[in-house]
A and B are shown apart, each in its own frame.
Chain A
Amino acid sequence: MSERQKKIRNFCIIAHIDHGKSTLADRLIEKTQTVSSRELQDQLLDSMDLERERGITIKLTPVRMYYEYNGEEYELNLIDTPGHVDFTFEVSRSLRACEGAVLVVDAAQGVEAQTLANVYLAIDNNLEILPVINKIDLPSARPEEVRREIEDVVGIDASDSPLVSAKEGLNIEEILKQIVEKVPAPNGDENAPLKCLIFDSYYDNYKGAVCLVRVIDGEVKAGTKIKMMASGKTYDCVEVGIFNPKPTPVMSLKAGNVGYIAASIKAIAETAPGDTVTDANNPTATACDGYKEVQPVVYSGVFPVDGSKYNDLKDALERLKLSDAALFYEPEVSAALGFGFRCGFLGLLHMEIIQERLEREYNLDLITTAPSVTYKVHKTNGEIVTVTNPCNLPPTTETLYIEEPVVAAEIFTPPTYIGSIMELCQDKRGVFEDMQYLDSNRVKMKYQMPLSEIVFDFFDGLKSRSRGYASLDYELSGYSKSDMVKLDILLNGEICDALSLIIHREKAQSRGRTLAEKLKEVIPRQLFEIPIQAAIGGKVIARETVKAMRKDVLAKCYGGDVTRKKKLLEKQKEGKKRMRQFGSVEIPSEAFMSILKLDDN
């Protein structure tokens, strides 16, 4: 290891969503004077508006800081990690670029479920974990208890964990010291052939797709002919640089460094995270391991409310895809909703974020259909097909059985709510596995649960049953054979494809009834009577009717005020723009959304 490498520390911060990670990162940056405090905008690293607003980090941003320790200057690279379970894969990538992790635990709330998953991930990646107890300025802080909790629950030594307050700037120096003392310097050979791990990438309007990399071996600089090992594509490196925290070009990046490579790469898809960058003329023998393609977990149809905005939606998705390689989409045509896209997401939060970005950043009004998971359908002819859209479910006559994805769910709650949460989990077809008291006021419940049930209204149920106290963490644990059926909604005798669902047989009956009732509420009365039917495999299980309207018995035409009448007509006409014509039935776009949240009771 070179002398240069000995003075590098690469670390990340792991924290529960509101335990103060971003604030702590800001303090570290401030303390090392990477930016002056005048420049310091709160939560510097969260550069997306949405992130700042919701207090969550989605994209990873590495920052290089300099810190003087025992008279020597150290280069500290902070690699940010997203805090949410949907982004576990992104977390694991960034963990592989580090040698250490600062674990931030809230001195009042203690260790949280979401954190644990990431801590274990860090331990699996052989990272040195430095627990830090934050928010000790809070009156409810109980640092000693939390210290014990870290040792019991996480199983790591927390005896000399710094007690800090990121908000007040208390004890921040101690963290920096421990990073230098405890986190190992990066090994790797700067004279070996180039080998860099791409842990993230982003799109820059001028530079194209930019790779965020950790250099494992060798050196890269402007002019190096680089090659992506997974795709085999080569590019001429135009610029390398670091973040301090703004992107700043440097002469070169060497083994142990963290920074960016810009090489006029057209699309983010060509800079797949997890891929290895090497020197095309002097390639490394083996790529970094662990590269895998991201698989969407949840799918949903996304359609513009105004059908003429299809191309706008397409452009928006194309542009989002440039910066979010995890987003998957393909064109979809629905009889009810017209032209749109089937989109795949990493999870519910990811889905919500994409939808929100489409609406906010691209000013689109969207209709999204009920989220669906990926089913494996075993057909009688031996074929196994993957179904992510209810409309593509093979007919029952050709189906042997269906498998649905199951997750291992961990629910953390105060003991008071155990009963009602168990009820909810049972209702959601959960199979109880284990329950463990973490301390006198926190319980961890483990369930095996179908993902489709979590996707449908589970969070809301959990939150309302626990007054917001319970939290959920889950990861896919496999597939299990399940009696799934397709539930169709017929409007005026025709199946409305955008309203079809794949659902467990036991639930189909009641869901069908609720759906029909709800639709009766949200579909306005029209010229003709509209029968609404719910059907399983062609058998009608529920029926409601929207009566024909009779409403235009008009009030007086005051003193020849024709304008008023015209305005009324125009308003009515305008209202039709938000309606979808399905056969002779007009469906308000809200109707498609309102059925996404239904209480089965």
Chain B
Amino acid sequence: MKRKLGVYIHIPFCNGKCAYCDFTSGVYSDEIKQAYFKSLISEIMNFDFSEYVVDTVYFGGGTPSSVSASYITEIFYALKAQVELDINCEFSIECNPESVTEEKLYTYKKIGINRISLGLQTTNNEILKSIGRLHDLKDFISAIDLTNKYFDNVSADLMLGLPLQNASDVTNAIKLLAEKSVKHVSAYGLKVEEGTSLAKSGFTPDEDFTSYLYDLTVNELAKLGYTRYEVSNFAMPGYECKHNKRYWNRSEYVGFGVSAHSFVKYARIENTSDLSEYIKGKTVAQKYFILSNSPEAKVEMIMLALRTSDGLDLTEFYENFGIDLIKDKSSTISALSDFLIVDNTKLKLSNKGYYVMNEIILRLID
């Protein structure tokens, strides 16, 4: 039987660069876009899909909606020519409010895309402007209304800890999302990455205030029926992002495009993050194997599974590594009772634990 595979496709193009973004993305000419898509298609064509059936596809960026929908269509057909798509395939694309048009949405729908992820970040226009976003609240409202016309499964991104952001900004945004019956919300704490214009501005989010906003978000979303199924993802029942879950449960996925990441056949592969190199045909920058019962696999499993509300499956862990984690780390786990929950055969982070996730993980993998 064929194994399930997720496909990630990276579109590194945007109409502008946001102040906090340190990802491989930017504003480029049409010639570069053309050349890029050519390389992207050939990378897809060269991948051996023979053992797989694809059940999630995710167009991420950058801003996939910033490029002409015909590129997305082309990619889709290239992929379809290579591999069988599962009948229930989750097919997502990231869009920014200012670049979503009815024409694009119509095309997305036609080729089978069934999930739209909109980058809202905040409803406060002043903040949107200061972090270099190209849309305002009005743009978002028209984008979401259009999207709702064609799609049921819509997600929105929020950022917490932005400059000038206060509690009512956060509650207003959540209220709006619920009104517009958004099914899925990703809420990210702002992280100031080196080299970004935000870092250069000297801004650092206040740790306590950001986590206060985060608590607020968790509570407000819960009231409205959104369940936190991963540290920064919330969904109405049945609307969890299947593609994202692959990352946390260590299922296989292949990433195409500049700086895309794959985890296939025990190999973690990182593509080059140099756009011009990628266009010239270089793809893989780094590749290493993680055998299923290796110490590194153990670290990954703990680190990734604890991000989810399902938590770490202790039975699966024991089967893989021959370690009874609860026994092995009994003193650590009891010292961390505020942060860790042992629930039958699962080890989970408490709400408080999510805020100090790395510290907890370090103690468990030590």
- Seen from chain A, the residues whose Cβ lies within 8 Å of a Cβ on chain B are 525-527, 547-563, 565-566, 568-569, 572-573, 576
Assess whether B18 is interfacial by the CB under 8 Å rule.
no
Going nearest first, the 9 A-B pairs with the smallest beta carbon separation are: A553-B189, A550-B211, A555-B191, A550-B355, A552-B357, A560-B247, A560-B261, A561-B261, A552-B358
Q: CA separation between A564 and B246, bound complex, in Å?
A: 16
Q: Interface stretch among B67-75, B221-229, B296-304?
A: B296-304
Partner of B362, one of A547, A557, A572: A572
B55 contact set on A, CB distance < 8 A: none
17 A-B pairs (CB sep. < 8 Å)? A527-B336, A527-B339, A527-B360, A551-B211, A552-B356, A553-B161, A553-B188, A553-B232, A554-B189, A554-B191, A558-B23, A558-B60, A560-B247, A560-B262, A563-B268, A569-B299, A576-B362
Q: What size tier do the contact residues of chain B reach?
A: 35 or more
Residues of B near A561 (CB, < 8 A) are 261, 270
Measured in the bound complex, the distance between the Cα atoms of B299 and A573 in whole Å is: 13
CB-based nearest A residue for B186: A556
With contact pairs A553-B354, A559-B255 given, residues A527 and B300 touching in the complex (Cβ less than 8 Å)? no
Interchain CB contact under 8 A, B357 and A560: no
Are B261 and A562 within 8 A (Cβ)? Answer: yes
> Of A551, A555, A556, which one neighbours B207 at CB under 8 angstroms?
A551
Q: Are B208's CB and A559's CB within 8 A?
A: no
Task: List the A residue with the shortest CB-CB distance to B187.
Answer: A553
B189 touches A568 (CB 8 A): no
Q: Is B356 in contact with A527, judged by CB distance below 8 angstroms?
A: yes
Residues on B with C-beta less than 8 A from A569 are 299, 303, 358, 361-362, 365
**Residues of chain B in range 265-279 having any CB-CB distance to chain A below 8 Å:** 268, 270
Which chain B residue lies CB-closest to A526? Answer: B359
Q: Which residue of B lies closest to A552 (CB)?
A: B357
Q: Which residue of A lies closest to B296 (CB)?
A: A566
- Check if B263 is an interface residue, CB within 8 A of chain A: yes
* Alpha-carbon distance between A239 and B336 when the two chains are bound, in angstroms: 68
User: With A525-B207, A527-B339 in contact, is A568–B358 under 8 Å at CB?
Assistant: yes
19 additional contacts, CB 8 Å, given A553-B232, A559-B260, A563-B261?
Answer: A526-B359, A527-B359, A547-B208, A549-B356, A550-B356, A552-B356, A552-B357, A553-B211, A554-B189, A554-B232, A556-B186, A556-B188, A559-B10, A559-B60, A560-B253, A560-B255, A560-B261, A562-B263, A566-B303
Set of chain B residues within 8 Å of A559, measured between Cβ atoms: 8, 10, 58, 60, 255, 259-261
Residue of B nearest to A549 (CB): B356
Give CA–CA (A66, B299) in the complex, Å.
73
A552-B359 contact in complex given A559-B255, A559-B261, A560-B263, C-beta closer than 8 Å: yes
Residue from the list B211, B253, B299, B355 in contact with A566, Cβ < 8 A: B299
Chain B, 186-216, CB within 8 A of any chain A CB:
186, 188-191, 207-208, 210-211, 214
Once bound together, how far apart are the Cα atoms of A338 and B43, in whole Å? Answer: 55
- Tell me how far the C-beta of A221 lies from the nearest C-beta in chain B, rounded to whole angstroms: 65
Known: A549-B356, A566-B300. A557 touches B270 (CB 8 A): no
Q: Which residue of B lies closest to A551 (CB)?
A: B207
Known: A549-B207, A572-B358. A563 touches B270 (CB 8 A): yes
B268 in contact with A557 (CB, 8 Å):
no
Which residues of the other chain, A, contact B232 by a CB distance below 8 angstroms?
Answer: 553-554, 556
- Complex-state Cα separation, A559 to B210, whole angstroms: 24
Find out whether the CB atom of A562 lies under 8 angstroms from the CB atom of B247.
Answer: yes
Asked whether, in the complex, the Cβ of A550 is within 8 Å of the Cβ of B207, the reply is: yes
Smallest CB-CB separation from B286: which chain A residue?
Answer: A563
**CA–CA, A184 to B263, complex, Å?**
87
> Is B182 at the interface (CB under 8 A from chain A)?
no
Q: Which residues of A contact B365 (CB under 8 A)?
A: 569
Binary contact track B248-261/A, C-beta < 8 Å → 1, others 0: 00000101000111
Residue in chain A with minimal CB distance to B24: A558
Q: Which of A554, A560, A563 contacts B231 (CB 8 A)?
A: A554
Q: CB of B170 within 8 A of chain A?
A: no
Q: A527-B359, A563-B268 are in contact. Are A553 and B214 (CB under 8 A)?
A: yes
What residues of A have a CB within 8 angstroms of the CB of B10 in the complex?
559
Q: Which residue of A lies closest to B159 (CB)?
A: A555
A553:B299 contact, CB within 8 angstroms: no
> In the docked arrangement, what's the CA distance between A204 and B356, Å?
55
Q: Check: B54 CB closer than 8 A to any chain A CB.
A: no
Whether the pair B255, A552 counts as a contact (CB closer than 8 A) is no
Distance of B294 from chain A, by nearest CB (Å): 13
Complex Cα gap A556–B161 (Å) = 14
Measured in the bound complex, the distance between the Cα atoms of B132 and A7 in whole Å is 86
A547-B208, A551-B207, A557-B247 in contact; A562/B355 too (CB < 8 A)? no
Interface centre among B60, B189, B304, B354 (most CB of A within 10 A): B189
| A492 CA to B324 CA, complexed, in Å | 32
A552 CA / B207 CA spacing, docked (Å): 9
Distance, CA A549 to CA B356, complexed state (A): 7
Which residue of chain A is the closest to B231 with respect to CB atoms?
A554
Q: Is B95 an interface residue (CB 8 A)?
A: no
- Let me know if A555 and B190 touch, CB within 8 A: yes
Distance of A568 Cα from B58 Cα, bound (Å): 25
B4-33 contacts to A, CB under 8 A, are 8, 10, 23
Q: How far is the CA of A552 from the CA of B361 in the complex (A)?
A: 11
Contact mask for chain B residues 333-366; partner A; CB cutoff 8 A; 1 contact, 0 none = 0001001000000000000001111111110010
**Distance of A599 Cα from B42 Cα, bound (Å):** 65
Cα A13 to Cα B244 in complex, Å, equals 77
Chain A residues near B286 (CB-CB < 8 A): 563
Once the chains are docked, how many angstroms separate the CA of A548 from the CA of B211? 12
CB of A13 to closest CB in B, whole Å: 53
Chain B contacts of A557 at CB under 8 A? 244, 247
A562 and B186 contact, Cβ closer than 8 Å, known pairs A550-B207, A551-B207, A569-B303:
no
Within the complex, the shortest CB–CB distance from B253 to chain A, in Å, comes to: 6
Q: A552–B354 contact, CB under 8 A?
A: yes
In the complex, which residues of chain A have a beta carbon less than 8 angstroms from the beta carbon of B339? 527
Provide the residues of chain A in CB contact with B262, threshold 8 Å.
560
Q: Could you tell me if B160 and A553 are in contact, using CB atoms closer than 8 angstroms? A: yes
Contact of A573 among B259, B261, B362 (CB under 8 A): B362
Determine the chain B residues whose CB is within 8 A of the CB of A555 once the complex forms.
188-191
A549 to B260, CA, bound (A): 32
Cα A328 to Cα B174 with chains together (Å): 67
Within the assembled complex, what's the spacing in Å between the Cα atoms of A561 and B244? 11
Contact call B356/A551, Cβ cutoff below 8 A:
yes
B residues within 8 A CB of A549? 207, 355-356, 359
Contacts of A553 in B (CB 8 A): 160-161, 188-189, 210-211, 214, 231-232, 354-355
Q: Which residues of B sit under 8 angstroms from A563, Cβ to Cβ?
A: 261, 268, 270, 286
Report Cα–Cα, A556/B259, bound state, in Å: 15
Which residues on A sit within 8 Å (CB–CB) of B357? 552, 554
- Which residue of B is nearest A586, CB measured? B359
Set of chain B residues within 8 Å of A560, measured between Cβ atoms: 8, 246-247, 253, 255, 261-263
Please measure, in the bound complex, the distance between the C-alpha atom of A566 and the C-alpha atom of B263, giving whole angstroms.
14
- Residues of chain A within 8 A (CB-CB) of B300 are 562, 566
**Chain A residues with CB below 8 A from B299, complex form:** 566, 569
Min Cβ gap A548→B in Å is: 8
1/0 contact string of B66-84 vs chain A (CB within 8 Å): 0000000000000000000
| Cβ-defined contact, B361 with A550, below 8 A | no
A552 touches B247 (CB 8 A): no
Contact B210 A565 (CB under 8 A): no
Q: Could you say which of A551, A569, A572, A573 has the most chain B C-beta atoms within 10 Å of its C-beta?
A: A551
Contacts of B208 in A (CB 8 A): 547, 550
B171 to nearest A CB, angstroms? 17
Cα–Cα, bound, A549→B189 (Å): 15
Alpha-carbon gap, A50 to B270, bound state (A): 47
Which residues of B297-328 have CB atoms within 8 Å of chain A's CB atoms?
299-300, 303-304
The answer to whether B304 touches A562 (Cβ under 8 A) is: yes
Q: How far is the CA of A576 from the CA of B253 in the complex (A)?
A: 33
Interface residues as binary, B99-129 with A (CB distance below 8 Å gives 1, 0 otherwise)? 0000000000000000000000000000000
With CB as the reference atom, state the residue of chain B lying closest to A564: B261
Smallest CB separation, A588 vs chain B (Å): 15
